[in-house]
Structure 1
Amino acid sequence: MTPSAKRDWLVPTGLIMLSAVPVIAGAARAAELTGGATVTPDNARFFASPVPVLVHIVGASLYCLLGAFQFAPGFRRRRPGWHRLAGRLLIPCGLAAALSGLWMTLLYPRPPIDHVLVTPMRLVFGTAMFCCIVLGFAAIRRRDVPRHRAWMARGYAIGLGAGTQVLTHLPWMLLAAQPNGIGRAVLMLAGWVINLAVVEGALRRQPARPSRSTQRRVAASAGVLASQ
């Protein structure tokens, strides 16, 4: 593998590693629900209504793992058909993850470990993820590739929040104990904010390219001027 090819896979590899803990935790939860585990106060809400959490686990896991490959530019260029095919799967997976997350936030009992502020934060970021994916889909339907990439990257950043939240919680857990209350709320918020800040920074560093609609307007204007 050439050095440039290795660099091409740095970001996807990092994203997969960041997804690993939430994906493994989700798989363990799914095995618990489908394997007849003992009902406890911590998991009773999932056993009472298992479908939303199973939809969330499957949708979010596929979205995070498969979505990581969309951030390999060279692979995307070499496999444009794969990129489009994966996108057709990623959009429903991302929407399913966002909507099931919103459903659980609204209808599951709030865990004692969560501060009351966690509920509105989950609603805000779950709704934002849903909107980013819809806007990204609408942009590619218009052949507006730059906006499509930007909105999809933002949606992915929010969806990967659980992975970054593992990192924000880790120092606290190593130095003290499992965070709760307002401390946990701040650490969860930090996970989403860090991801979005990284994405926005990356988007600003990219050279601005005119969208297809802008190119068409410029071409139409040039045609009008040429005919005068």
Structure 2
Amino acid sequence: MPAGLIMLSVVPVVAGAARAAELTGGATVTPDNARFFASPAPVLVHIVGASLYCLLGAFQFAPGLRRRRPGWHRLAGRVLIPCGLAAALSGLWMTLFYPRPPSDDVLVTPIRLVFGSAMAGCLVLGFAAIRRRDIARHRAWMARGYAIGLGAGTQVLTHLPWILLAGQPRGLTRVLLILAGWVINLAVTEWTLRRRPTPTRSAKRRADAPAGLLAGQ
């Protein structure tokens, strides 16, 4: 699982690193990158936050690592929540205050606002759940937040076939391909959450089972 999630993160992380190098290395200002040079702080916060969130967060989905090193899991979580919130909130700032690129349809803006807000909300709800020691809800909300954060990786996959067959997508086509990245991630996450019994349900079944069954008789 971690290896697959890291592979899905590679293209956005590499693209972010290239953008950071461009901003810090004095690259030529062009119409495509002028908005970033005009206000570089939000995009740099977004790149660093999202990269750490996606790469480090992948290891939170390794059950064996969680069991063997629960302290590492908790320490990583203390890093991941601020990184995820930084990525989500800086993404919202850029959506609201950066000029919209010519390739983006006007519908891209509300979609990004919805999913950026949803990611921040999932992280806050996940943090609140673990404070209440509600592990099942904590895992569910954190998984949803990570699915949204990894949307850029899935968007590479939704765009690639179209680019190879028809060229760079624009207008409504690009809107649907961007939306598909987030929808696919959330659909897979919800399917996974529903096919696995939560700790609460498992505990209830054990409590309701006859003593002989629990003892293996």
CA deviation after TM superposition for structure 1 residue 176, in Å: 1.3
In the alignment, structure 2 segments of 5+ residues that lack a partner are: 208-217
Count of residue correspondences: 204
Question: What residue in structure 2 maps to residue 158 of structure 1?
Answer: 148
Question: What residue in structure 2 maps to residue 223 of structure 1?
Answer: none
| Matching residue's letter, 1:134 | V
Q: CA-atom RMSD, angstroms? A: 1.3
Q: Which among 49, 74, 80 is matched to residue 84 of structure 1?
A: 74
Question: What residue in structure 1 maps to residue 175 of structure 2?
Answer: 185
CA deviation after TM superposition for structure 1 residue 40, in Å: 0.1
Question: What residue in structure 2 maps to residue 4 of structure 1?
Answer: none
Distance of 1:126 and 1:208 partners within structure 2: 27
Distance of 2:20 and 2:162 partners within structure 1: 27
**Which consecutive segments of 4 or more residues in structure 1 shift more than 4 A?**
none
Alignment of 1:62-77 (within 5 A): 62-77=52-67
Q: Which among 28, 43, 46 is matched to residue 38 of structure 1?
A: 28
Q: Alpha-carbon deviations, 1:110-160, whole Å to 9, x = none?
A: 000001100000000000000000000000000000000000000000000
CA deviation after TM superposition for structure 1 residue 209, in Å: 2.5
Question: What residue in structure 1 maps to residue 215 of structure 2?
Answer: none
Q: Alpha-carbon deviations, 1:67-87, whole Å to 9, x = none?
A: 000000011110101000000
Q: Secondary structure at the match of 1:109?
A: coil
| Matching residue's letter, 2:79 | L
| Matching residue's letter, 1:115 | D
Distance of 2:160 and 2:58 partners within structure 1: 23
Q: Alpha-carbon deviations, 1:82-114, whole Å to 9, x = none?
A: 000000000000000000000000000000000
Distance of 1:95 and 1:127 partners within structure 2: 10
Question: What residue in structure 2 maps to residue 175 of structure 1?
Answer: 165
* 1:134 maps to 2:160: no
| Matching residue's letter, 2:3 | T
Alignment of 1:1-228 (within 5 A): 11-210=1-200
Q: Secondary structure at the match of 1:41?
A: coil
Distance of 2:100 and 2:168 partners within structure 1: 17
Q: Secondary structure at the match of 2:199?
A: coil
- TM (normalized to structure 1)? 0.88
Q: Name the stretch that deviates more: 175-184 or 154-163.
A: 175-184
